[in-house]
Amino acid sequence: MKRKALISGITGQDGSYLAEFLLARGYEVYGILRRASTFNTVRLDHLLFDGQREKDIGIFLRYGDMIDSSNLNRLLEQIQPDEIYNLAAQSHVQVSFEVPEYTAEVDGVGVLRILDGIKEIGLRTKFYQASTSELFGQAKAPQNETTLFYPRSPYAVAKLYAHWIVRNYREAYNLFACNGILFNHESPRRGESFVTRKVSRGIAHILTKKQDYIYMGNLEAIRDWGYAPEYVEFIWKMLQTPQPEDLVMGTGESHTVKELIEEAFSYVGLDWQKYVKIDPKYFRLTEVDELIADSAKARKVLGWNPKIRFKELVKIMVDADMRAVGLQPIGEGDRILKQKFPDRWWGRD
C-alpha cells in the first residue's frame, strides 16, 4: 500500500518540489489548498493539468486553512496520512510587521492546531515543521542546534512559538514531531518579492527593457543560500529516522546581498551599480545581520550534503528568469544542473 503524505503549503516553492519528490517515490500526495478567488497552483500546473485524473497522478488537493481547526481535523481524519509536512506560512519577514496578528495565527497557532488534531484523533503519523534560521536573529554566527534564539520579527517570533510547541508535544505526548531549521534556500520558484528572485527576475526585465532599476534595502546582510530542490530531500530524510529530533541545515557558505547582486549582474555582463538603487522602505525595522548554518549534526545524522553552491545557484536562477521572459539563457546554470543531477527530477524550473 502506498504511503500517504499530507503537505500544507503545497503551492509554495518547497511544497511543490516536495510533492514532486514524494510522487517519484510512490507516495500518494495530499495538499492543503487555501481557498481564493483565483487558483494559485502555478508551481504545480505541470503535475495537475495533463489530462489525467487525481488518482492517476497520485496528487490530491483539498481546501483548508491553518486558522480553521475543524477543517484541519476533518482532513486529518479523512486522509489518515503517514507523514505530515507543515510548510504553510506567511513567510515574508517584512510583511509580518504589517500583518503581525495574521502571521502569529498561521505560523504559530496553526502548528498547534495540527498537533492537537493529531493528538486528539490518535493519529499515528510523523510530523515535520518547517522552522527557520530567522529564529536565530542576532545570535552570533555560525548557528547550530545549541545556539540561543534571538528572533527579530513577528514572523520569527511566531515561528519560535511553533518550534517550541512541536518540542512540547513531542515530549508530552510522545509524538514523532520534529523541526527542520533550514537556512535560506532558493530556486526559480521562489516568490518574486524575495531578494534572490527579485534580483534574478529584475535582471531579466532590465535586459528586456521592462524596468530600469532594481530597488534594494540592506546590501550588507549576510546569508547562507542553498538550492531549494535539494533541501526537500533533507526534509523527507528527517521523517525517515528512527527517532525525531530538530536539525539545522544550510551550506555553511556565507555571502552578502551585495555579493549576490554582483555575481548575478556579472553573469550577464552588466555593471550592477548602474541598475541598483537603495530604497529605505526595504530596510527591516529590526535587521538580522548574519545567518550562517553549522550543519555538522545534520550531516552526521542524515548523511546528506547539498551539491549546489552560491555561484551555481545564482546562475541557475538567472538562466531560468531569462528563459521565462523569452530570452536565450547564458546556459551555465543549465549545464550545472545537468552535470550535478543527471536524469533527476530537480533539474526543472
The residues that are catalytic are: 132, 134, 155
CB burial string 198-211: b at 16+ within 10 A, e below: bbbbbbbebbeeee
Supply angle C-alpha 338, 341, 347, rounded to 5: 70
Residue that has been written with the C-alpha cell 518579492 in this structure: 193
The C-alpha cell at 333 is: 546554470
Residue that has been written with the C-alpha cell 500500500 in this structure: 1
Q: How far apart are CA 157 and CA 165, in angstroms?
A: 12
**100 upstream amide cis, omega within 30 of 0:** no
Length of the chain: 349
H helix intervals, 82-240? 93-98, 100-103, 110-121, 154-173, 195-207, 228-238
Strands of 36-120 (E only): list them.
59-63, 83-86
Report whether 17 contacts 189 (CB < 8 A).
yes
User: Among 263, 254, 187, which residue's Cα sits nearest to residue 221?
Assistant: 254
Report whether 239 contacts 128 (CB < 8 A).
yes
Q: How far apart are CA 117 and CA 218, in angstroms?
A: 41
Backbone angles phi, psi at 159, to 5 degrees: -70, -30
